[in-house]
Structure 1
Amino acid sequence: MTRSGPLTRFNPAQPGAAGMKVVATGLLVVMAATYLLTRAYEARYPGLSFVKAFAEAAMVGGLADWFAVTALFRHPLGLPIPHTAIIPRNKDRIGLTLANFIRDNFLVARVVARRMRNIDVAGAAGRFLRTPSGEGNRIRRGASRLIADVLEGLDDERLGGIVKGAIAQRIARTEVSPLLGAALASAIEDNRHVPMLEAGIRTLARALEANEPLIREMVRKKASWVLRLAALDEKLADAILDGLRKLTVDMSEDPDHPVRAKMAEALAQLAQDLQHKPETRARVEAWKEELLANRSVAQWLDRLWQRARAALIAGARDPDAVMAGRMGEIMRSAGATLEGDPRIRKAVNQFVRRAVAGMAASYGGSMVGLVSETIRGWDARTVTERLESAVGRDLQYIRINGTIVGGLVGLVLHLLDTL
């Protein structure tokens, strides 16, 4: 079963296409009737020869344009005439041509960079996010519907493969150890590591309570038979547990506790090693490569993509819900920052320009395949009907113009012949 994609939901914005078709066909019938009448009375009224010439040529012009318009979408009168039903027969080739056009004009890195050089993406995004109502809201709704239709219409497997492949390749090419080290060093410098330490202490306390039977069993096994005989192993276990509990409480309450200071020193040393120590960096990169090669990571990326795609579609279908509540406040605040801070706007624009140009260079060919295969998967009859409905009004005007122009040409030729 073929997919019709978003075209199946297309609601043409050209009212009156069917009415114009009736007008064009009716004009052709009128010309035919006029021709028959003038031919019958031409001998009695010689002046009707001019009307007859006009009607005769108009019929020829109208029929020729009817044939041309019909041949674009189907076989005229159902006859398999060569070079008719052009769009259904060449749907796949049209899709490939469209995809190549998109690639050559929009997905070449230098073209993308040149086109985006003067585009203020950050400013536009800021205005888009900051505007809660009015014209911006109508634009948001229209853009949201378009995004939702595109996301639902594109081949999920191919598009997901491109996205997941891009994420995996970007992670593989990026040395994460210096980034982690710089982030940790920045957190320590701003004292943002304190919540991490406190969370670690709380985790240690919970682990201590959860593993109390295991600790008691370890003490009992390590204690000598004399201690066990005197039941001193239980007291020893109680002393160890009480000491560990007191240590976690003291560490939690005293910011200057020596053990806590040692933990902070260890974090600072880790941040330094992650950035500058070759052995640590190599070990982190090896862990990263093992993670990327793990099937569980691939499944996690797949679930991440599916959730992101579903969230994007749901948000696009209901943009007001996305912009409401706390999330809406955050997005509006981000929009005001993007629009008002020149440094952030410049950095975001530069990042977007480089990212889009890089994606165009890396995935232009894949996008061509995605577009062409998506169009190939659409039902030919549905595509034909929707395209004909979308441009049907103009097509019928072609028929009307052909009828009138043909009649005028016939009238001029008859006048010249008479003279």
Structure 2
Amino acid sequence: MRMLRPLWQPPSLPAGGVRQMRIVATGMLIAMAALFIAARAIGDVHPAVPFIQSFAEAAMVGGLADWFAVTALFRHPLGLPIPHTAIIPRNKDRIGDTLAIFLRDNFLTPVVVARRMRRLDVASAAGRFLSQPGGGDGRLRLGASRLAADLLEGLDQERLGGMAKAALAQRLRALNIGPLAGQALDAAMRDGRHAPVLDGIVKWAGRTLEANDHLIRQMVHDRAGSIMRWTGLDERLSNAIIDGLQKLLDEMADDPGHPLRAKAEEGLRTLAHDLQFDKTMQAKVARVRDEIIDNPAMQRWIDGLWEQARSGLLRAARDPQAAVAGRLGEALQQLGETLQGDRRLKAMINRFTRRAAVGAAASYGDGIVKLVSETVRGWDARTVTSRLENAVGRDLQYIRINGTLVGGLVGLAIHTIDILL
């Protein structure tokens, strides 16, 4: 139902100007009473006086009727316990329940939320916001950044850091590294990416042998008999062992099809298979993983990782323009353009947003409705009356003013018709 515009509306008053509007409406009623008394006092000195008297008389009736109606909403007129007055204080619980039911039936049911969410293109809105990082006055971004910075600084850093580090350690422990490592090794061997690794191992073995040949010589010398040492055979045996090992490593480095390389590749394939399917091997890898996580050096690394992340978040929150000026800004802008141009991604995000909103309405709608109802029930009658009167009191005073004017015009019309007939 369309609301009628008032016949007369005084200049807009600041919020909370109920008292001023009440003075205006009451002043008009008093003015009509004074006009009526003056018209009766001067009598028929002029043909227009009866019209003025009829206007003032009907205006008083209209103004008084609307004053009674408006006052009866919030309190007893003149303090008299007239039936069906002080309607809002006496029915505040029913009003709260009705408001809660209205919210539930019109806003918080999954069907209504789903229907309203179909009209929203959240992905495009987010895309426009991200693709124009410097657009607008930046108040939204600055406000969000200040809020994020205040939240980060206001939280208990030790507890928050402990929670973050515990969550990271828990995620690392939950990671089944064995199958992942096995799949990575298997894929590397299929593509031949393991060959440079084997070459590096062979070269490292050659350099290690060359740097530590004295250990082999000493080992052979200590275990050789006195006759071999006296004849110098221990030295010749040491040279033969070292030369043989060096020749073997050189052949492995030069010949990709060397039998020992084939054996090594076979061992790698077996390791890749065991990492993926052997529970015993996976358990061994898991124990190694847990030992690494429990190592103090690893814990210090996790601590440093959290501090770096927190410092980075604070820097980005305190200076959002700098945060979106570099590669991050380019990535966000590209993401925004993708959100606007990729129909499949846009549809997926909008569908996810719609499902999340519908799920929230289904899970928390009744709780919100109950909160509204219980909050209104918890207010006393004076609180309810004061808040509603402050919210709609000015408009109700407009009703009084218009009632006075409309009543006067109706009285004038009736008097005119009476004269004409």
What TM-score, normalized by structure 2, do the two folds share? 0.50
Whole-angstrom distance in 2 between the partners of 1:34 and 1:142: 57
Shift of 1:35: 0.7
Show CA shifts across 1:185-224 (max 9, x none).
7898689xxxxxxxxxxxxxxxxxxxxxxxxxxxxxxxxx
Shift of 1:129: 6.0
1:353 matches 2:354 = yes
| Structure 2 equivalent of residue 390 of structure 1 | 391
Which 10-residue stretch deviates more, 56-65 or 77-86?
A: 77-86
Q: Is the CA contact 1:61–1:406 (under 8 Å) kept in the aligned structure 2?
A: yes
Shift of 1:107: 2.5
| Structure 2 equivalent of residue 51 of structure 1 | 52
Letter of the structure 2 residue corresponding to residue 406 of structure 1: G
Letter of the structure 1 residue corresponding to residue 42 of structure 2: Y
Judged with a 3 Å threshold, the aligned counterparts in structure 2 of structure 1 residues 67 and 264 are, in CA distance, closer, same or farther, namely farther
> Where does the alignment leave 5 or more consecutive residues of structure 1 unmatched?
1-11, 148-179, 192-255, 275-314
| Structure 1 equivalent of residue 215 of structure 2 | none
SS of the residue aligned with 1:62? helix
Which protein has the larger Cα radius of gyration, Structure 1 or Structure 2? Answer: 2
| Structure 2 equivalent of residue 81 of structure 1 | 82
Q: Is the CA contact 2:183–2:276 (under 8 Å) kept in the aligned structure 1?
A: no
Shift of 1:381: 3.1
Shift of 1:112: 2.3
Shift of 1:65: 1.0
5 Å-filtered alignment, 1:70-149, equals 70-128=71-129, 137=138
Whole-angstrom distance in 2 between the partners of 1:377 and 1:263: 69
Whole-angstrom distance in 2 between the partners of 1:142 and 1:90: 41
CA RMSD of aligned residues (A): 4.8
SS of the residue aligned with 2:119? coil
Q: Is the CA contact 1:75–1:81 (under 8 Å) kept in the aligned structure 2?
A: yes
Q: Is the CA contact 2:59–2:409 (under 8 Å) kept in the aligned structure 1?
A: yes
Q: Is the CA contact 1:34–1:55 (under 8 Å) kept in the aligned structure 2?
A: yes
1:412 matches 2:398 = no
Q: Is the CA contact 2:181–2:272 (under 8 Å) kept in the aligned structure 1?
A: no
SS of the residue aligned with 1:26? helix
SS of the residue aligned with 1:356? helix
Show CA shifts across 1:350-390 (max 9, x none).
11212222333344333321221233334543443333233
Whole-angstrom distance in 2 between the partners of 1:265 and 1:75: 88
Q: Is the CA contact 2:58–2:408 (under 8 Å) kept in the aligned structure 1?
A: yes
Whole-angstrom distance in 2 between the partners of 1:393 and 1:32: 23
Q: Is the CA contact 1:128–1:140 (under 8 Å) kept in the aligned structure 2?
A: no
Letter of the structure 1 residue corresponding to residue 38 of structure 2: L
5 Å-filtered alignment, 1:9-20, equals 14=15, 16-20=17-21
Judged with a 3 Å threshold, the aligned counterparts in structure 2 of structure 1 residues 15 and 364 are, in CA distance, closer, same or farther, namely closer
Q: Is the CA contact 2:124–2:339 (under 8 Å) kept in the aligned structure 1?
A: yes
| Structure 2 equivalent of residue 237 of structure 1 | none
Whole-angstrom distance in 1 between the partners of 2:142 and 2:401: 37
| Structure 2 equivalent of residue 150 of structure 1 | none
Whole-angstrom distance in 2 between the partners of 1:346 and 1:187: 36
Whole-angstrom distance in 2 between the partners of 1:190 and 1:388: 71
Whole-angstrom distance in 1 between the partners of 2:360 and 2:61: 53
SS of the residue aligned with 1:82? coil
Whole-angstrom distance in 2 between the partners of 1:90 and 1:69: 16
Judged with a 3 Å threshold, the aligned counterparts in structure 2 of structure 1 residues 133 and 67 are, in CA distance, closer, same or farther, namely farther
Whole-angstrom distance in 2 between the partners of 1:184 and 1:88: 70
5 Å-filtered alignment, 1:172-321, equals 268-269=276-277
| Structure 1 equivalent of residue 33 of structure 2 | 32
Shift of 1:138: 5.4
Shift of 1:14: 3.9
Letter of the structure 1 residue corresponding to residue 99 of structure 2: L
Shift of 1:34: 0.4
Q: Is the CA contact 1:65–1:402 (under 8 Å) kept in the aligned structure 2?
A: yes
Whole-angstrom distance in 2 between the partners of 1:353 and 1:21: 46
| Structure 1 equivalent of residue 68 of structure 2 | 67
Judged with a 3 Å threshold, the aligned counterparts in structure 2 of structure 1 residues 269 and 112 are, in CA distance, closer, same or farther, namely farther
Whole-angstrom distance in 1 between the partners of 2:365 and 2:393: 33
Judged with a 3 Å threshold, the aligned counterparts in structure 2 of structure 1 residues 53 and 105 are, in CA distance, closer, same or farther, namely same
Judged with a 3 Å threshold, the aligned counterparts in structure 2 of structure 1 residues 143 and 324 are, in CA distance, closer, same or farther, namely closer
Letter of the structure 2 residue corresponding to residue 38 of structure 1: A
Whole-angstrom distance in 1 between the partners of 2:136 and 2:380: 36
Whole-angstrom distance in 1 between the partners of 2:273 and 2:324: 37
Whole-angstrom distance in 1 between the partners of 2:181 and 2:41: 98
Whole-angstrom distance in 1 between the partners of 2:177 and 2:354: 25
Show CA shifts across 1:25-78 (max 9, x none).
211111010011111111544541211111011011011111212222233233
Whole-angstrom distance in 2 between the partners of 1:380 and 1:187: 69
Q: Is the CA contact 1:54–1:410 (under 8 Å) kept in the aligned structure 2?
A: yes
| Structure 2 equivalent of residue 244 of structure 1 | none
SS of the residue aligned with 1:80? coil
Letter of the structure 1 residue corresponding to residue 357 of structure 2: V
Shift of 1:116: 1.7
Judged with a 3 Å threshold, the aligned counterparts in structure 2 of structure 1 residues 15 and 378 are, in CA distance, closer, same or farther, namely closer
Q: Is the CA contact 1:181–1:270 (under 8 Å) kept in the aligned structure 2?
A: no
